[in-house]
Structure 1
């Protein structure tokens, strides 16, 4: 993923801040000369973040990506600033008895990787032990080093804060919510409002030395924020990196409660038309376009993508609304990382170019023609398709000989009821302010379409929960386009196939709505009783296909 270079500053080193900036700057320019079209990533924590910002301010013509971790630009507002004034008055070795100074140098060993468990225990014993132990540690972490670090941080903060206006680089600020040294949460918000191209990610339970903590993964964070790229422009298709085992587990964990509550049933259709439980009917080689109904608030996405991946090894790449990739939309969400997992799982903005690229690489592509209008439908509109009148994907699919799989999913009406839809929200006082931020200032699709599909307004949905029922998926009979490219160039032929796919999706939904009435385990209560009798890992029966 990266070629790693690390700046090491020895304990005895007293190089001034500006000299360190110049040293990093020379290294950056050297790397740029070797690969001028490739971005250079500068990852810095605390003082290191200040160095990265200073280099960016002095080199606006270089393509830099800054990863700023608990940046020291907030030093003048921190506890360290207050404590540093008294440091000269503290005799050796008692400067190490101050937790803030010790954490500044070493981090929180209680949250570090198990690799450091022994060291963490030893350090804890030393810092809480007797004077001889403190004397031993003082030889490794002398008071002069801490004093120098404090002065360095003060200088770095002042230097960079006066030059933030000159930083044009793409920046990602990672802020720990449990940072005992710096007000990193507030500083991240300030930097986002100051820097031109800046996004933030908050880590509520992490401390100042987040890079040393076991549960933190920097690569996953960069990927989730959409900050990994190999050239000057982000290409969500070619820049995508496959899931790691940890990332897949995180995705499964996110939907664990939903999967437990709804126990999804997956059916597929064999080429001869026979419906079977499981995914034997899905092709194993792409390109494939999965076309179907978008459930309320996209409830089906997690169980669908992770379920198919776990059972078949097929990684589905979704075409998603650009709202999920917009910096302005992140600021409207309760958590700025709300959509990160979708990007990690391979979602890309829905554009013809991205669709083309995915098919050319023989991917399995997930497409919802109804888009946001289906996922944010009004009361009484569950299982109603809101597709464009004209075919959109058929000719592109046929160009690559892709197999089209229509699919249906039901179960949202067994999970919740819509309490307030878009029509209700528009009647609320002051909602027009949020509506403007979500839509007029945001990204809209299908503005040139006619009918209901044109109403792609983004908005929250207020629901009332029910005693959970069950989700049911069915993948219809595969529709081959290989060898039909010339035939499907004709608009009339493409439109006919498009309407056939839409009809198949509607048939899938109708089939599931009818057959679920035969499922004795449709409600969660009989499913719990079944698992109590047969074990939590037992597959719960359903209707006969």
Structure 2
């Protein structure tokens, strides 16, 4: 629940119930059966003025600022003070009618007529505006209906289950091929689980925040007897006490302070937010008498018991969001319990969050859903068309925790123009897809953060990486990292390796990143730096030719200046403990290339022991593009395709050789010269590198 004291009461019309009509406000309307058509496949290149590049301005902060300015031209995400102001207005206008659905006008944007339906099931407040901070972004992906339960309504929990079940069955009958999302918090999560138990054959996806299935162990449980004997003058203090228990006031203040506004703006924001919150609580205290609060707590208890008795029947795909600082419910423990009970369940933990998770400024529900791989518009996920690139602000949140890698390694990025000239930056990379980047997989993939971020900030291109399926699926619980460890990869568009996903990415004209050496290269042995371990047979040429994709071979260098392998696979297999652990890890992971032999056949999952070094520098060189357009018939021939495959492999080796040779002449290869340069010229300045060839007329000269 968003807590009894954080309730707000929306208005609208029910599309399914013939209840009393409530006056509609300008912000809410009845859910419509039709939606605006939009292109269903997103371009991997995001529109932005082409003059804004990292290489031209030499500053990541400037790139982010320009991104934010572009994003700021549209409507901004609502803040908590907006939430409180809307809540107060709607609580005053509530007429006490029956439960009904409404659709926020903030969610007017749609992906298309096949957008999945999202039914929001509120907490014990019953208002239905708990997702208001997320409406705008969610509206780009879903058709959203929110359930509103008026404060004076006394509909039993079982009847609410029937109401939502009728809606689910009706919408599934109209659109049987699209999934229905049930997003619930607290008692709304109980409602979602109960509906899922009643409808095991309908394609439901549950997103549950701090489920109240643990109400029997809640801090609110012993509060119920006290509520009945509490003196009348203390009644008005209850909403205040419960609101502070949710953690909303503290989070609201910290959110404003974290933005580091100028002092006068900070004071103004705090004043407005605190004023809106106080006014909201005053109205809430007037309309929430003791009897109503007691009824809601009783319904919480009955909802918990009702749902727990039916958990065995839940078959729906479920994502649980649990807060670590929930003062009202033991949400962390309950999330773990449900995750072990439900057959298709994953959990995401928010250790610093309170009970009202959806009202916290640093939570982005869209990013959470995308990162967990829970967004789809049909019965099976389509990693191409179901992917929606992050906004600039979302990308910044994703990138910031990893920015230290780019700061520490000060990457040099080079590309080749059509005439053979080598330039700094990514000007040689085509804007139009499909494009396939084929290269060497650096140890543990350390090169991925600078690589992906440069494409984003310099060329506005989202690079879709082909990744190991272990990042998307676990065969069983065990020693492998939780799937949440790979959320960042999924947010940035990674897809599990398969012929189907290759086909769909090329069909959608994406920019695709492939490492043919896979895990064998990423977990190479001692002395194998920059050695390619590619399959003997070509795996990508004919697929690229089918769509006329441009193949760009590239090399990366720098891992030997960052770390040294102390114990590799061969060493670990000689130690009984590590040998047993490697066997367990490998048994938990999905097998790849099990039908081939050689170095790149299915690799055992292990983690080499690494000795870090003072960071050197990363170097990236993208060779001359290889066109396959118009060569579809030619490359159907296996021999011709294999010749091109060997050509690409040779070009990757040449790119690596070029970088290894040229970095020897880089005066800023090591960190100390770079720090001195940045201290003199500013830490946002671009650090120079070796002198580039003035002109290259043929690939043979780049060796």
**Shared fold (TM-score, shorter chain, > 0.5):** yes
Could you say what secondary structure the match of 2:566 adopts? strand
Tell me, yes or no, if the aligned pair for 2:471 and 2:483 is still in contact at 8 Å: no
Sort the Cα spacing of 1:469 and 1:320 in 2 relative to 1 into closer, same or farther, 3 A: same
Q: Report the Cα distance in structure 1 between the residues aligned to 2:275 and 2:459, rounded to whole angstroms.
A: 47
Sort the Cα spacing of 1:100 and 1:83 in 2 relative to 1 into closer, same or farther, 3 A: farther
Q: Please say if 1:310 is aligned against 2:457.
A: yes
Q: Report the Cα distance in structure 1 between the residues aligned to 2:515 and 2:593, rounded to whole angstroms.
A: 13
Select the residue among 485, 488, 502 that pairs with 1:355: 502
Select the residue among 601, 606, 609 that pairs with 1:459: 606
Residue aligning to 1:325: 472
Sort the Cα spacing of 1:93 and 1:8 in 2 relative to 1 into closer, same or farther, 3 A: farther
Residue aligning to 2:205: 65
Q: Report the Cα distance in structure 2 between the residues aligned to 1:89 and 1:461, rounded to whole angstroms.
A: 64
Q: Report the Cα distance in structure 2 between the residues aligned to 1:93 and 1:75, rounded to whole angstroms.
A: 27
Tell me, yes or no, if the aligned pair for 1:405 and 1:475 is still in contact at 8 Å: yes
TM-fit CA distance, 1:271: 2.0
Q: Report the Cα distance in structure 2 between the residues aligned to 1:68 and 1:249, rounded to whole angstroms.
A: 26
- 5 Å matches for 1:81-160? 81-94=221-234, 97=237, 102-103=242-243, 108-112=248-252, 121-122=274-275, 138-160=285-307
Sort the Cα spacing of 1:96 and 1:196 in 2 relative to 1 into closer, same or farther, 3 A: farther
Tell me, yes or no, if the aligned pair for 1:267 and 1:475 is still in contact at 8 Å: yes
Q: Please say if 1:190 is aligned against 2:330.
A: no
Q: CA RMSD in A?
A: 2.4
Tell me, yes or no, if the aligned pair for 1:415 and 1:465 is still in contact at 8 Å: yes
Select the residue among 173, 178, 181 that pairs with 2:328: 181
TM-fit CA distance, 1:418: 1.9
Q: Give the unaligned 5+ runs of structure 1.
A: 128-132
Residue aligning to 1:21: 161
Sort the Cα spacing of 1:301 and 1:111 in 2 relative to 1 into closer, same or farther, 3 A: same
Q: Please say if 1:246 is aligned against 2:393.
A: yes
Residue aligning to 2:667: 520
- 5 Å matches for 1:425-504? 425-504=572-651
Tell me, yes or no, if the aligned pair for 2:416 and 2:423 is still in contact at 8 Å: yes
Q: Deviations over 1:116-148 (max 9, x none)?
A: 955752487699xxxxx98x7532332223212
Q: Give the unaligned 5+ runs of structure 2.
A: 1-140, 257-267, 693-703
Residue aligning to 2:310: 163
Residue aligning to 1:130: none
TM-fit CA distance, 1:373: 1.0
TM-score for the superposition, normalised by structure 2: 0.73
Could you say what secondary structure the match of 2:145 adopts? coil
Could you say what secondary structure the match of 1:111 adopts? helix
Q: Deviations over 1:215-258 (max 9, x none)?
A: 11111111111110101111111211122122211232132100
Q: Please say if 1:33 is aligned against 2:173.
A: yes
Q: Which moved more, 1:297-306 or 1:80-89?
A: 80-89
TM-fit CA distance, 1:425: 3.2
Select the residue among 283, 288, 291 that pairs with 2:435: 288
Tell me, yes or no, if the aligned pair for 1:268 and 1:476 is still in contact at 8 Å: yes
Q: Deviations over 1:43-65 (max 9, x none)?
A: 00000000000000011111100
Sort the Cα spacing of 1:525 and 1:297 in 2 relative to 1 into closer, same or farther, 3 A: same
Select the residue among 345, 348, 364 that pairs with 2:492: 345
Sort the Cα spacing of 1:96 and 1:502 in 2 relative to 1 into closer, same or farther, 3 A: farther
Tell me, yes or no, if the aligned pair for 1:403 and 1:479 is still in contact at 8 Å: yes
TM-fit CA distance, 1:428: 4.2
Tell me, yes or no, if the aligned pair for 1:176 and 1:202 is still in contact at 8 Å: yes
Sort the Cα spacing of 1:279 and 1:119 in 2 relative to 1 into closer, same or farther, 3 A: closer
Sort the Cα spacing of 1:99 and 1:410 in 2 relative to 1 into closer, same or farther, 3 A: farther
TM-fit CA distance, 1:420: 3.0
Q: Report the Cα distance in structure 2 between the residues aligned to 1:434 and 1:246, rounded to whole angstroms.
A: 40
Tell me, yes or no, if the aligned pair for 2:384 and 2:508 is still in contact at 8 Å: no
TM-fit CA distance, 1:492: 1.2
TM-fit CA distance, 1:426: 3.1
Q: Report the Cα distance in structure 1 between the residues aligned to 2:529 and 2:146, rounded to whole angstroms.
A: 54
Select the residue among 24, 28, 42 that pairs with 2:182: 42
Sort the Cα spacing of 1:68 and 1:517 in 2 relative to 1 into closer, same or farther, 3 A: same
TM-score for the superposition, normalised by structure 1: 0.93
Tell me, yes or no, if the aligned pair for 1:45 and 1:71 is still in contact at 8 Å: yes
